Amino acid sequence: MLEKIFPYLAQQVVEDYNITNGICLDIGSGSGNWGIEIADITDMVVYLVDINGDALAKGVQKAGKRGIEGQIKTIETDVHDMDIPDNFADLIVCRGSIWFWRDRPQGLREIYRVLNQGGVAMVGGGLGRKLPEKYRRPLVEERQKRKKDPEWMYIRSKEYFQKILAEAGINIANFP
């Protein structure tokens, strides 16, 4: 069911930021669900970036089945010390990965380093704004149990993200 969210997440990010050319990184991509959907509706070259090479290989296969393998590249690397040049990407998406990192501020610092000036990075989780209710409801119900865990909730809160951005030394004064 979760895979249903990615076409809607791709539409949301493209619509909100109107970035349709250049380089996109899907960091902690797994098999590249979000990145592949972005490639499908834009002219972007999308790099799937993950520490797990097997997941990246699955992403390449999926892109091949969609006929968009020419737009998809992979980088097997650790978010804490990415083998990616400074100012590389115009758009960075990163969903469902940050909670697995050993040093979240360091991962954010790395994402900021590889983001081009004027670029956009979205890091976190969630279902996005555009998902139809028939897909959203079962996913929300599934997560209700986790919401009873205060730590689970806290590390997904705006307050926590502000704290780790500050720890990363990233100026958040102009952030929404």
- Largest interatomic CA distance in the chain: 44
Figure out which of the listed residues 7, 25, 29, 46 binds ligand SAM, where binding follows CB under 6 A: 29
Q: Contact at 8 Å (CB) between 113 and 107?
A: no
Q: Alpha-carbon distance 13 to 11, whole Å?
A: 6
Q: Read out DSSP for 84-149?
A: S-TT-EEEEEEES-GGG-S-HHHHHHHHHHHEEEEEEEEEE----S---HHHHHHHHHHHTTGGG-
Kindly state whether residue 74 participates in binding ligand SAM, applying the rule CB under 6 A. no
Q: Give me the sign of the Cα torsion angle 114, 100, 81, 56.
A: negative
- Binding pattern for the stretch 83-122 against ligand SAM, x by CB under 6 A and - elsewhere: ------------xxx--xx---------------------
Q: Looking at 45-53, 84-92, 111-119, 149-157, which segment touches ligand SAM (CB under 6 A)?
A: 45-53
CB nearer to ligand SAM: pick between 46 and 117? 46
CB 81, min distance to ligand SAM, A:
9
CB 13, min distance to ligand SAM, A:
13
CB nearer to ligand SAM: pick between 1 and 173? 1
Q: By the criterion CB under 6 A, which residues form the site for ligand SAM? A: 28-30, 33, 50-52, 55, 78-80, 95-97, 100-101
